[in-house]
Each structure stands twice: as structure tokens, then as C-alpha cells.
């Protein structure tokens, strides 16, 4: 028993170390790598993945896990070891089901698929991408056959990102959410406020944007000795270990606040990573997030629930004005608050406002579910996409680049990923609601730029569990119930009915 325990902890430590190295390569590819280094870096990344994968699925590792998982031995384990063995058993059993030839096959298909997606975007022509996407969808279906998850095939894909989540649950939540958001949107569109609303047309230069990002970075208590803020085309958070979690933003995007809100979003992810279980669980499978949805709940919480709220800006707007006196000269608090909460149906998901964002996700969810159940065909996606855009937003893209080709996820075989964005958004409203219930001073704390209590709550009720529970169980435990769009819808109504004077 001792020998097996030593082996599995040592193996997890090595895997965790390799994962930290992989994170560094990924970070470098997105930030500082000289252009011509791309090919070598991707070879480095591929070799490292192979070394890790071989360790995960090795027979020796599996034999130790199986031994420790035998009832007679398992019962003698400490609570901690039980958690680790149980989690490891599930993970490794799952990984070992995927034949290595299939891993090679899908890796090739998605590498070529990604290139085809890029070409299709350049040519603004979905047909260039379609045969590759067909192949990828076929492989995703083949992938599902390796597992025995009940219900539609799509459940298996969802399970990879959001363990335990099912199409049925999401169809129910999302159809309610869609109906409600579309109704709110229609109401808003009918108001004078909406008719007359204007976007902020001032610019803030990159250096000033950077300063504001650093200020919020510090206010959110990201420790500078464990984090960095760099620039990349697409903002991201990456963890190289418990003591080195890096975020990026972009100062080149349209709109002067993109960098600010994206920094807050990524800082939310980073705080989660920094709060992962340490001590006994450091470098084990437990020290990770149980789902992408729960991870996204942390970024959305800070980005939307906190940083698009009245109290946050009561504290922060004077600071903004100070740094950018020229741009904000004639902009009063009310105008400002409306500007950053402007509702405007957009074609592009990543540019969507808080209200309509989830509609973009639901659109993709519906398409994925139908593709996996053979109800629709890849070649018809541009038409289906535009019909759904019209149905939900009342706007349709004039080309595929602004439509079905806008996201890279499918080209990489990440089918089932999109829903986690909406799940996280819904969770974030539930979490805020719960904290507000428990802490009557919440708003005044935010107004004073005091985030210590909030961060403690998140650490205690979410971060510290790592993968000791599934995501929805963590939410149930701290909020009294699992995924529930109703709280999010109520929040949207409260906020946007007021802004649009409904």
C-alpha cells in the first residue's frame, strides 16, 4: 500500500510539474515568442503532451491505482488518500479508454482543421472549412463511443468540460434563459433610452489603459510576487503552478475599456487558480477546478457582478477620471454607468454586452446538440446560424467571418465547450446573490474598494475545494441550490429595467 501511494503521489507530482512547463510554453507562444519560433515551440508543446499522456495512461500507474481502489485496501486509506484515489481512478480510467491511434487521428484533424478555419476566415468562405468540420464532428461522435455515458452522445462531450452536466438540463435552463433574455431585449429596444443611446467615442492610450489595469489588478489583491500582467492578442489566464499564475490583456481592441474589463475577468480566473487546494492536496488531481463553468463563474463574477455595478464605479470612476481627465471631462457618473452597461445586439460573441452574451452561447449550444444528434448538417450551418441570429438578436451577419466562422473552438475539436460560458455566468449571479444575503455590508465594501471579504468568501466556499466535489455540488453547498437561471434573469431585469427606465 505504501509503495503504491508513493508511486501515485510521485506520478501526480511529475504530471503537475510537466503541466506547469506546458503552461510556460503556451504563455510564451502567446506573448513573447519571436515569430519564426512558432514551429519549434509547437514541437516542444507536442513532445511534452506526449510525455505527459504516456505517464497518465501507463500500465504501471494504472496498476497502482487499481490496487488502491480495491475495497479492502481503499477502506484502510486516510480520508485524503481516498479522495485522491477516487478522483484519479475516474480520470485515468477515462483517459485509458481513448486509443492512442485515435489521439493521433484527432490531433492531426484539428491541426489541419485549425489551418483550414484560418484560411476560410481569410477567404470569408465557410465552404473551405466545412469538410474539415465534418471530419471533426465525425471524430467527436467516434470519441463518444469509447465511453458509457448515458443519454445522447453530446452528454459525453459536455462531461469533458462540465462533469455530470447533461443536454437535458441545459436544454431546460437555456430555453428558459433564451426566452427571458429575448423578452428583456425586445422591451429595451422599444425604449427611448435605447433609441438615443450613444457609445463612448473617446480613446484612452495604451499606457493609460495599462495603468488602470495595474490599479485594478492590485485592488483585487493579486499578489505581484505570484502573478504578471502581459499583453497578447487574446487575453488569457495560465497557471504554471500554485505560485505562478499569469494573466494577459490586449490594449489594441476596439473600445477603450476592453483591456480593463478583460483584466478583471482574467484576474477572477487567476484568483481561483491561486486559491486552489495546497498543503496535502498540492500537486494532486484534487488541486484543480472541477469544471470550466465553475472557473468561468469566478471571472464573470468579478467582471460583471462586481465591475459593472454601481458601487464599484462609485469607488473607481473618480480614479478613472483622474488618470484620464481629458477623455472623461464632460462625462458624469450616470452617463458613464450607462456606457459600460450599454445593451446592443452584436454579431460577435466576444464583443457582446452582459445581457445578450448568453444568447450567443445558447445559439452555439443548440447547433452543437443538433449536430451531434444528426438533426442538421455541417454544410447548412451558415443558413442555420443566420436564422438563429435573426430569431434571438434581430440582426444577421453579412458574411461568415462575422457569423459561423467567428470562433476557433470547433476547429480545435472543442465541441461542448461553449455552454460553460453561460453556466459560469449563471453561477456568478447565484454566487453574488448568496454573498449579498450573508453580508449586509457588501455594497458599501465594494463602494470602498474593499474586496477582502468577498475574496475570503470565494476562497472558503469555492476555491479551497478544488475537485473534492463536482461543480454543481459546490454551488449547491454554498448557494443552497445548483444551476438556476432564474436568479440571473432576476438580476438582469432589476439592473436593465432601471437603466432603460422600464
Q: Which residues bind a copy of itself (CB under 8 A)?
A: 14, 17-18, 20-21, 24-25, 28, 32-37, 39-41, 43-44, 47-48, 51, 223-228, 230, 240-244, 246
Cβ-based nearer residue to a copy of itself, 285 or 405: 285
Q: What is the DSSP letter of 302?
A: I
Tell me the closest approach of the beta carbon of residue 282 to a copy of itself, in angstroms.
10
Cβ-based nearer residue to a copy of itself, 25 or 213: 25
Tell me the closest approach of the beta carbon of residue 45 to a copy of itself, in angstroms.
9
Tell me the closest approach of the beta carbon of residue 148 to a copy of itself, in angstroms.
35
Cβ-based nearer residue to a copy of itself, 10 or 115: 10
A 10 A CB-CB count for 354 gives 20
Cβ-based nearer residue to a copy of itself, 52 or 298: 52
Catalytic-residue membership of 162? no
Phi, psi of 248 (to 5 degrees): -130, 165
Q: What is the DSSP letter of 349?
A: G
Query: Could you tell me the end-to-end alpha-carbon distance of the chain, in angstroms, rounded to an integer?
Result: 66
Q: What would the DSSP string read from start to end of 11-62?
A: HHHHHHHHHHHHHHHHHHHHTT--GGGHHHHHHHHHHHHHHHHHHHH-HHHH
Half-sphere exposure of 389 (CA within 13 A, CB side): 21
A 10 A CB-CB count for 421 gives 20
- Catalytic residue (one of 173, 180, 208, 266): 266
Measure the CA–CA gap between 131 and 113, rounded to whole angstroms: 9
Cβ-based nearer residue to a copy of itself, 113 or 241: 241
- Three-class HEC string of 138-176: HHHHHHHCCCCCCCCHHHHHHHHHECCCCHHHHHHHHHH
Q: Determine contact, residues 443/311, Cβ cutoff 8 Å.
A: yes
Tell me the closest approach of the beta carbon of residue 359 to a copy of itself, in angstroms.
38
Tell me the closest approach of the beta carbon of residue 28 to a copy of itself, in angstroms.
6
- Under 8 Å CB-to-CB from 81, ≥6 apart: which residues? 5, 68
Q: What amino acid positions are annotated as catalytic residues?
A: 266
Amino acid at each position: 500500500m505504501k509503495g503504491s501511494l508513493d508511486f501515485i503521489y510521485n506520478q501526480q507530482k511529475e504530471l503537475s510539474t510537466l503541466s506547469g512547463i506546458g503552461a510556460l510554453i503556451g504563455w510564451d507562444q502567446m506573448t513573447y515568442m519571436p515569430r519564426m519560433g512558432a514551429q519549434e515551440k509547437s514541437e516542444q508543446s507536442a513532445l511534452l503532451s506526449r510525455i505527459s499522456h504516456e505517464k497518465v495512461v501507463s500500465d504501471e500507474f494504472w496498476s497502482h491505482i487499481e490496487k488502491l481502489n480495491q475495497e479492502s485496501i481503499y477502506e484502510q486509506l486516510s480520508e485524503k488518500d481516498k479522495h485522491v484515489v477516487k478522483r484519479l481512478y475516474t480520470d485515468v480510467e477515462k483517459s485509458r479508454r481513448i486509443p492512442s491511434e485515435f489521439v493521433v487521428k484527432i490531433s492531426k484533424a484539428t491541426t489541419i482543421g485549425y489551418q483550414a478555419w484560418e484560411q476560410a476566415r481569410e477567404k470569408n468562405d465557410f465552404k473551405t472549412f466545412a469538410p474539415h468540420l465534418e471530419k471533426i464532428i465525425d471524430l467527436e461522435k467516434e470519441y463518444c463511443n469509447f465511453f458509457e455515458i448515458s443519454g445522447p452522445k453530446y452528454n459525453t462531450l459536455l462531461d469533458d468540460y462540465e462533469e455530470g452536466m447533461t443536454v437535458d438540463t441545459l436544454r431546460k435552463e437555456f430555453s428558459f434563459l433564451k426566452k427571458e433574455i429575448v423578452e428583456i431585449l425586445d422591451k429595451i429596444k422599444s425604449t427611448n433610452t435605447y433609441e438615443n443611446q450613444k457609445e463612448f467615442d473617446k480613446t484612452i492610450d495604451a499606457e493609460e489603459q495599462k495603468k488602470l489595469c495595474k490599479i485594478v489588478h492590485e485592488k483585487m489583491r493579486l499578489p505581484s510576487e505570484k502573478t504578471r500582467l502581459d499583453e497578447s492578442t487574446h487575453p488569457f489566464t495560465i497557471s504554471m503552478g500554485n505560485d505562478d499564475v499569469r494573466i494577459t490583456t490586449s490594449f489594441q481592441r476596439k473600445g477603450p475599456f476592453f483591456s480593463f474589463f478583460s483584466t478583471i475577468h482574467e484576474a477572477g480566473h487567476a484568483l481561483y487558480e491561486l486559491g486552489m487546494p495546497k498543503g496535502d492536496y498540492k500537486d494532486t488531481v484534487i488541486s484543480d477546478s472541477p469544471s470550466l463553468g465553475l472557473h468561468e463563474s469566478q471571472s464573470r463574477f468579478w467582471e460583471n457582478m462586481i465591475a459593472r455595478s454601481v458601487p464599484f464605479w462609485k469607488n473607481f470612476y473618480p480614479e478613472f477620471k483622474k488618470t484620464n481627465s481629458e477623455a472623461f471631462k464632460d462625462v458624469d457618473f450616470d452617463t458613464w454607468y450607462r456606457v459600460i452597461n450599454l445593451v446592443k445586439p452584436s454579431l460577435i460573441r466576444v464583443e457582446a454586452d452582459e445581457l445578450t452574451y448568453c444568447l450567443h452561447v445558447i445559439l452555439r449550444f443548440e447547433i452543437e446538440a443538433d449536430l451531434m444528434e444528426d438533426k442538421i448538417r455541417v454544410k447548412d450551418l451558415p443558413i442555420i446560424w443566420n436564422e438563429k441570429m435573426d430569431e434571438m438578436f434581430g440582426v444577421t451577419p453579412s458574411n461568415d467571418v462575422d457569423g459561423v466562422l467567428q470562433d476557433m473552438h470547433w476547429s480545435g475539436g472543442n465541441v461542448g465547450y461553449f455552454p460553460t460560458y453561460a453556466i459560469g455566468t449563471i453561477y456568478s449571479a447565484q454566487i453574488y446573490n448568496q454573498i449579498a444575503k450573508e453580508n449586509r455590508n457588501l455594497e458599501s465594501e465594494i463602494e470602498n474598494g474593499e474586496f477582502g471579504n468577498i475574496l475570503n468568501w470565494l476562497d472558503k466556499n469555492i476555491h479551497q475545494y478544488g475537485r473534492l466535489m463536482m461543480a454543481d455540488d459546490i454551488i449547491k453547498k454554498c448557494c443552497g441550490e445548483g444551476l438556476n437561471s432564474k436568479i440571473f434573469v432576476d438580476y438582469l431585469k432589476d439592473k436593465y429595467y432601471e437603466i432603460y427606465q422600464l
